[in-house]
Amino acid sequence: MATKKETIIRNQSASPEETESPLDEAAAEVAQAFEEAGEISARLTIGTVIGILAYLGEVAVLIGQTVRSMRRGIHMGDLVRQMAIIGVDSIPIALLTTGFSGAVFSLYSASTLSSYGAASFVGGIVGLAIVRETAPILTGVVLAARSGSAMTAEIGSMKVTEQIDALRSMAVSPISYLVAPRLLACLIMLPVVCILADVVGIVGGGIVAATEAVPSSVFVRSLRQLLDPNGRDVFQGLLKTVFFGAIIAAVGCREGLQSEGGASGVGQSTTRSVVISIVLIFVANFFLSFLMLSR
């Protein structure tokens, strides 16, 4: 058995690597763990970015193919039917959400501005918020949830039951027959529904403002003062809905055409369609608002 003196001499003569403390070893393990986590995070981030760009590329290609197919014409019966399903049937829920949103916005604006003696600006503020942001965004979200999901479910059901393969076997393009009418119907009907939502949202705000001691004449006068008399504010909101309509139709049809796995696969595609459409609507709204305000 080594004596205590021999143990001390042996420890003193050992190299620094052999006498590394447990604290140094733990620090090295933590540093290695952070390095590995950083590498994994970097790979995941790069993969996510590539996946997003690839998805957006597929959507853009589908829109391009659809526009080219429109040159050969569109069946008017299919177009009118899609306009009714996408636009007319969605009007009640779109107007309901926008009307109550305008009422809530007017409620907060009137109570806050009145305390500062600026109640005369309630109408203009509510009008700008409705026509620039609230009505276009809510219209897009409502139609993405209602009509976009219906597109995906219908086309996805045709895909998993091989009806789309049957169309190809009969030399009928699925893009011309299925995608083109839905895309054009969205481009036409979203601005129409948005116009109605603008009116209902402002009317709802005016009714609530009147209950908050803001006379209707003051509300209307403020609306005329702050809104662009040339209709630029309204036009900007309607322009947004054109982009939103393209997003809803392209994403909804793309997810439907890529559906597989039976009924469960169609359900997953439908959920994915709604989520992606709403996210892209908000992202597109930011960039469109930034471009419009910077001009």
List, for residues 220-261, the tens digit of each pLDDT value.
888 888 888 888 889 999 999 999 999 999 999 999 988 888
Judge contact between 106 and 208, C-beta under 8 A. Answer: yes
pLDDT score at 3: 54
- If pLDDT is split at 50, 70 and 90, which confidence band does 101 have? very high
CA dihedral 27, 33, 34, 37 (to 10 degrees): 180
List, for residues 209-231, the tens digit of each pLDDT value.
888 888 888 888 888 888 888 88
Sign of CA dihedral 26, 28, 33, 34: positive
More confident site: 159 or 72: 159
More confident site: 193 or 18: 193
* pTM, rounded to two decimals: 0.82
The answer, yes or no, to whether residue 13 has pLDDT greater than 80, is no
The answer, yes or no, to whether residue 20 has pLDDT greater than 60, is no
52 vs 64: CA distance, rounded Å: 18
Give how far Cα 165 sits from Cα of 64, 161, 250, Å: 22, 9, 20
94 vs 87: CA distance, rounded Å: 10
Angle (CA) 287-292-293 rounded to 5° is 100
Question: What is the b/e burial string over 67-90, where b = at least 16 CB atoms within 10 angstroms of the residue's CB?
Answer: eebbeeebeeebbeebbebbbeeb
Q: What's the distance, CA 248 to chain centroid? A: 9
Span between the terminal Cα atoms of the chain, in Å: 88
Place of tokens 């779109």: 94
Judge contact between 222 and 31, C-beta under 8 A. Answer: no
138 vs 127: CA distance, rounded Å: 15
205 vs 212: CA distance, rounded Å: 11
More confident site: 31 or 187: 187
